[in-house]
Every structure is written in structure tokens, then in C-alpha cells.
Amino acid sequence: MKRWLFLLAGPLLALVVFALMRHHGPQPAAMAGLVAWMALWWITEAVPIPVTSILPLVLYPLLGIDDVPATAAHYGKEIIFLFLGGFIIALGIERSGLHKRIALHIVVRLGGSPSRLVLGMMVACAVLSMWINSTATTLVMLPIALSLIDDEDAPITVRQRMTVPLLLAVAYGATIGGMATPVGTPPNLVFLELWRQLFPAKESIGFGEWMSVGLPFAAVFITCGWLVITRLAFKVGIEMLGEADTVKQRLKALGSASMDEKRAGFVFGAVALLWMTGDDLRLGEAFRLPGWRGLTGFTAVSDAAVAVAGAVLLFIIPTSSRGRKRHDAYSTHEPVGGTLMDWTFAEQRVPWGILLLIGGGFALASGVDKAGLSSIIGESMAGLGTLPLPLLIGAVALIVCLLSELGSNTATASLVIPILAAMAQRWGMDPQSILWPATLAASLGFMLPVASPMQTIVFGTGRIPMPQMVKAGVWMDLIGVLLLMLFFGWG
């Protein structure tokens, strides 16, 4: 019954907004109504999120906002292929088992005391989620965390005390790590593409430039998150959860690295290196570190082309001739031979709905601009430009954070970035100074289980009481907003 109420509420809300905005003209009013409709359906999931994302294909021509070919072009943008190629490469790493080896090595080296074990889990998840989908990272690391919590040799009191901190460490590490790279989480890709779309005359943001900001931010945020979990929200004590041998035994059980792991690791390493070194890296006003595109003249070879090339290689490179059969979370009896990746495997696991969501966000941004709604919003919020930059960033980040607590972070980014872009121009400020923190704020959302798939997965274990998740999450959201103010408010 509730679903049908939300289904009807979407178009009804659109009509109400249209009536309220009609004095601005039919097209801006219609676009405002459609934004409200899509926002409500995205937040409530009255229909699947990808289905809401394709509404512009139907409604733009009817409302006279844009034609079908121009609207459809947003669902095939270059940045979508960057996400697709990157995700297939991540699947190749998971399929080979390399991700488990990396994670366990990090936990072994940083683990030890309860406090260090939490840090090791957060760092392991963060490193993986920089390159692998954050949801997949959580699914990979959760069994490792649960095996430590369920160690029968550990005192029951210690296991009870460590359960919530260790599970939250998985979710927090995966979420924060995604902020460090453009491919770490979809909102980052949404921002990069919208930046090119809305500001074609300005220089694009390269992979290395993003990491020069995102990586330090993520590192500081991980440290703060670790202190929240181990010092502020919970007391993990000093008594050991279990011997370090528990994790070492899991690592030893993996045996030596297989040829599949080495080959998948080589493809991943090559792609990551090309991503990071493609564009010139600005280290100051007077010094630039040249990228390989400028040095070789292959300026047309974008990050998306590199990602797709890496993905194609996985479909070509043969698997190890050792004849080992894989027994993992994805396949019970993987056929011997073949290649590192096959289409059936990829087809079942690539999040095709996310690709439609990203495309829908681009279409929405274009519609807001073409209908003239962005300039109306910018004029109505012009007064906010008088606020000091740190306070402005804090206010925007807090609003975006609260929106992401209730709905998809990708949808949130798609909704707010075009609006903020128009506002930044109205305020006469550098758009990056507000768009960058707003994008990262879309990845905040640590209070509720519905805030992100990472939160949902760890809450789904049934071992985290809601009050404890909210208690720690409030601190994480507030610290995230404060860090955004510190990093971007005094540029």
C-alpha cells in the first residue's frame, strides 16, 4: 500500500510544483516538477532506481525540454564506459582471488591490539574500495571480520565488545576509500562528467589531480573514523580479540599467489598506473609533472579508453594452466581453462542499473540547464553567496549529507551538482570550491542502514543495534562536514 502511495505522490508532487512555479514560465516549471518527481521516487524507491532514471527519455519530448536523440546521448557518455571498464577490472581481481590476499596482508600488518585491528580493517577496506566497488569490498571483507568476531578461542566478553566496532570499520573503510579516486564511487564520476559538460571552457580534472586531493582527505577521514570507533563511540579495551595467528592462518590457507592472481594484478596495476599518470599533475603554480598523454601525443586516449582496454584484456588473457577450480562467492565450480573474465560472469555482476542512474543524472542536469531552471534557482539563492566560504561549504555539505542519508548518493550528486554549478556562477566564485566538497558530501551518510549499501550490508548481519549505528554515524557525518570545511574552506 505504501508503495502505491509513493507511486501516485511522484506525479502529484510534480503537478503541485508546476503550479507553484508556473509564473517563471512553462518549461522551468515543468522541469522543476520533474526534478521533484524523480527525487521522490529515488528517495522512496517507489519503482527501481534505474527505472526512475530513464523518465527523461519519455518526459523530455512531451514537455518540450529536449528531443529523444539528445536525451539518449546522456546515457552513453564516456564516463559511463570508464565506470563499466573499471568495474569489470575489479571483477577480474575478485574472480582471481587477489582481493582477499591484499586485504589479509593489510590486516596482518596493521592488526594486533583491538584498536589496531579496527584500523587494519578500515585501511584494508579503504585500499580495496579505491579501485573496487565499495559494495563489493564490503561483501569481501565482511566474512573476514565475522571470522575474527566468531573466534571461539577469544573471550566472549571481548567478542561482544568488538562486534559493532569491527563491523562498522568495514562499512566506514569501504565508504571513505571510495572518495580517494575518481572510480572509487559513482558520485565522483558524476562530478567529473558534469564538470566537462557544464564548464567546457575550463580544464578538466585528471585522475592524478583528483587523487592529490581525495587521497589526503580519505587518509585524514580514516584516522578520524578510527578514533570515533575506538575512542569516542565505543571502548574496545586492550584485551586481545584473538591471536594474530587467526588472520595469518587464513592468509596461509590461500597458498602462494596463483598465475591468475598475478595476471589480474598486472592488468589492474597497469591500468591504475596509466590512470594516475595520464594527465599533467599540477604541483604548484610554477611546476607541472607531465603526463604520458602530453609526452606521447596520444591526447585522445582518455581514462575511459584505458579502462575499456584493461577490461578487454581480461577477456583475452588465458587462465592459469594449473587446472585449479575456483570455489568462491561467485562460482561453485568454475570451468577449468578459458580466460580471466567471461561474459556470462560479467553480465551477471556488472551493476547495469547504476549505469542508467548515472546517465539519468546527466540527463537531469542537462534538462535543468536547458529549461532555464538553473538560473532561476541561482537567482533565488544569491544571498547565500555573502556567507564566508567555510560556512557556505559547511551548510551545503550538511544538506547534501542529510539527503544522502535518505536516498542514493549518486542520485543526490546528480540532483545537487547542476544546481550548485549555477549558484557558483551567480556568486562569482570558482565552481570547484563548492562542487568538490558537495560531491564528497554525497558519499557521507553513516547514520542509517538505508544510507548506503555498505551500511545496509553490515546492519543486515543483525549484530549492530540501531542506536549504536546512529550514535557513531552522527559523529562520522559531523566530522566529515568539518573536514570538508577545513580542506576546501581556506583554499
What confidence tier does 9 reach under pLDDT thresholds 50, 70, 90? Answer: very high
The C-alpha cell at 318 is: 588465458
- Tell me the per-residue pLDDT of 38-69, one tens digit each, with 9 for 90 and over: 888 877 778 888 898 899 999 999 999 999 99
End-to-end CA distance of the chain: 50
The phi, psi pair for 282, rounded to 5°, reads: -80, 120
Q: Would you say the C-alpha torsion 287, 289, 295, 300 has a positive or negative sign? A: negative
Strand partners, 282: 288
Beta-carbon count within 10 A of 478 CB: 15
Question: What is the mean predicted confidence (pLDDT) over 182-196?
Answer: 87
Residue 366 pLDDT class (50, 70, 90 cuts): confident
pLDDT of residue 318: 92
**Is the confidence at residue 395, as pLDDT, over 60?**
yes
Q: Is the pLDDT of residue 276 over 50?
A: yes
Task: Label residue 325 by pLDDT band (50, 70, 90).
Answer: very low
Q: pLDDT tens for residues 114-170?
A: 888 899 889 989 998 888 778 777 877 776 777 677 765 566 777 788 889 989 999
Does the pLDDT value for residue 480 go beyond 80? yes
Burial pattern 372-393, b for ≥16 Cβ within 10 A else e, equals ebbbbbbeeeeeebeeebeebb
- 257 φ, ψ (degrees, to nearest 5): -60, 130
Percentage above 70 pLDDT, the chain: 87
Report the residue count for the chain.
491
216 vs 202 pLDDT, higher one: 216
What confidence tier does 337 reach under pLDDT thresholds 50, 70, 90?
Answer: low
**309 exposure class (CB count in 10 Å sphere: 0-12, 13-18, 19+):** middle
- Among 184, 173, 171, residue whose Cα is nearest residue 120: 173
pLDDT-derived band of residue 272, with 50, 70 and 90 as boundaries?
A: confident
φ, ψ for residue 251, nearest 5 deg:
-70, -40
- C-alpha dist (Å) from residue 80 to 94, 186, 240, 391, 445: 21, 9, 45, 33, 24
Q: Where are the domains of the chain?
A: 2-74+353-488, 79-349
CB of 378 closer than 8 Å to CB of 114? no
Q: What is the pLDDT of residue 20?
A: 93
Label residue 434 by pLDDT band (50, 70, 90). very high
| Half-sphere exposure (Cβ direction) of 306: Cα atoms closer than 13 Å | 23
pTM comes to 0.69
Taking the mean position of all CA atoms in its chain, how far away is CA 223?
A: 19
pLDDT-based confidence at residue 329 (cuts at 50, 70, 90): very low
pLDDT surpassing 90 at residue 72: yes
Residue with cell string 539527503: 403
